[in-house]
Amino acid sequence: MKKNFRWVIVCLVALATVINYIDRGALGFLWPEISEDLGLTKTDYAIILNVFTFAYAFGQTLFGKIFDWIGTRLGFVLSIVVWSAATMLHAVASSLTSFAVFRGLLGIAEAGNWPGARLVQLLP
């Protein structure tokens, strides 16, 4: 039973990683509709991508510290909850600023996937 449970956990972590990639790539596919709805330009797209990239880099360090502080399992759950909330908040974005803030929050939270996924797989 315990051996099968480990595979369930590995599959859930893999699913979280797939969702992570989908969330990250969705902006590129949806940009024509988003830019039209919000009146954003290609320069605004570049700003949003840069905010996400810097937030993601910062999130790697932040979530590494969080995992050290509260543990891997709880930290990984926190990362998933925050990135899910950030993804939902994109629906209420009404300007470049709000969209960039929500995208930055998504970048910070998604960064927790990599140290979390690696550490969860190493747990006994």
**Is 112 exposed, middle or buried, given 0-12, 13-18 or 19+ CB atoms closer than 10 A?**
buried
Return d(Cα 20, Cα 74) in angstroms, integer.
18
In order along its 124 residues, the chain shows pLDDT tens digits of 566 777 787 788 888 888 888 888 888 898 999 999 999 999 999 999 999 999 999 998 898 899 889 988 888 889 999 999 999 999 999 999 999 999 999 999 998 887 766 655 555 5
- pLDDT attached to residue 97: 96
CB 123 within 8 A of CB 69: no
Tell me how many domains the chain contains.
1
CB 79 within 8 A of CB 113: yes
The predicted model scores a pTM of 0.85
- Tokens found for residue 63: 């979530």
Q: Domain of residue 6: give its range.
A: 2-122
Instruction: Choose among 115, 118, 109, 124: nearest CA to 23.
Output: 109
